Amino acid sequence: MPDDTTALDFLWRSVPSWFAFPSRRPSDITGFVSLEQTVWQRGTLSLSITARGGAVAVKETEVSRLPEWCPELHLNADRTFCLGLDELAIVDDAHARQWWADLEVHLKLLSAAIKTRVWPLHSGLAHGDAGKYQREARLLAEGLGLGEEYARVLGGDGGWLADPDMARVSGNGVRKPSGLPCPCGCQRKSGKSFSWTQCPRRRKVDRLILLERARRLALDDFWEACRNLGKTCCGRIRDCPLAENAKSE
């Protein structure tokens, strides 16, 4: 006999203690966030969880404590929370527990962002297509031992990975000839630095530079598209790229 257990069924069976006064209907699960050390520790944020294919979507039940839309707070245009690039398919109890754990982490980050007006550093992906480039670049940087270097780039500290002069890479991903020393610290056994053209990791480093460039360009395109649609800043986050589009009334 086929198992017709749905994603909402699995979630309902593993509702955590911080999701207060839960209620189940065929189409959704509702409840209130009551998380210690967050702005909602007294259960003032009401959430609705609805099925979306094999996954689920979650959003504030009615607009009250959160803006309707804010990329910097990882709130999508339909008011759902952006919990990552890929939706987690909930096919068993273990996936349901993982989803609740992911939501708890997201809510704590969201609370911190609301209190400080800055999303916690290194705790989110860039918006739109920029996110997929960032995810691949981060994994590649960590594999190269350049994780901290790339984290500084994402934090706005610049560095050689974000230097336009380092992005001299041809369309097929191969660095144009350069006798400059390898900036990522690759050295021969003698201790002498490799040049760019001689670095044994150059193709991977070239790929990393291309990915970071693609991330920045995609992020610029995302914000430009928002401006063209007349999107404005909600005023909840400092240094929002849409601040100049904010409503004046």
For the stretch 81-108, pLDDT in tens is 999 888 889 999 999 999 999 999 999 9
177 and 210 fall within a common domain: yes
200 and 226 fall within a common domain: yes
**Predicted confidence band of residue 171 (pLDDT cuts 50, 70, 90):** low
What are the structure tokens assigned to 20, written together?
């207060």
DSSP letter at 75 equals B
**Predicted confidence band of residue 249 (pLDDT cuts 50, 70, 90):** very low
For residue 152, how many other CB atoms are within 10 A of its CB? 16
Model pLDDT, residue 125: 87
Q: Residue 174 belongs to what domain range? A: 130-241
249 occurs within a structural domain: no
Domain final residue, candidates 73, 91, 116: 116
What are the structure tokens assigned to 87, written together?
């939706």
199 occurs within a structural domain: yes
Between 2 and 227, the more confident residue is 227
Q: List, for residues 189-199, the tens digit of each pLDDT value.
A: 777 777 777 77
What is the tally of structural domains in the chain?
2
221 and 134 fall within a common domain: yes
Task: Give the mean pLDDT of the chain.
Answer: 86
Q: How far apart are CA 177 and CA 36, in angstroms?
A: 56
16 and 108 fall within a common domain: yes
123 occurs within a structural domain: no
Model pLDDT, residue 135: 94
**Predicted confidence band of residue 168 (pLDDT cuts 50, 70, 90):** low
Q: Where are the beta strands (DSSP E) in 15-76?
A: 19-25, 28-33, 45-52, 55-60
Q: Is the pLDDT of residue 246 over 80?
A: no
148 occurs within a structural domain: yes
The answer to whether 44 and 22 have CB atoms below 8 angstroms apart is no
Model pLDDT, residue 178: 58
Q: Is the pLDDT of residue 143 over 60?
A: yes
Model pLDDT, residue 167: 57
Helices (H), the chain: 7-13, 93-116, 130-143, 147-154, 202-228
Contact partners, residue 93, CB within 8 Å, separation at least 6: 10, 13, 14
Model pLDDT, residue 247: 47
248 occurs within a structural domain: no
The answer to whether 196 and 182 have CB atoms below 8 angstroms apart is yes
Q: List, for residues 61-71, the tens digit of each pLDDT value.
A: 998 899 999 99
Domain final residue, candidates 116, 143, 174: 116
Q: Which amino acid, residue 38?
A: T
**Predicted confidence band of residue 1 (pLDDT cuts 50, 70, 90):** very low
Q: Which residues pair with 25 in a beta bridge?
A: 28
**Predicted confidence band of residue 248 (pLDDT cuts 50, 70, 90):** very low
**Predicted confidence band of residue 172 (pLDDT cuts 50, 70, 90):** low
Model pLDDT, residue 68: 93
Model pLDDT, residue 136: 96
The answer to whether 119 and 237 have CB atoms below 8 angstroms apart is yes
> What is the mean predicted confidence (pLDDT) over 138-149?
91
How far, CA to CA in Å, does 4 sit from each of 10, 18, 27?
11, 28, 15
232 and 144 fall within a common domain: yes
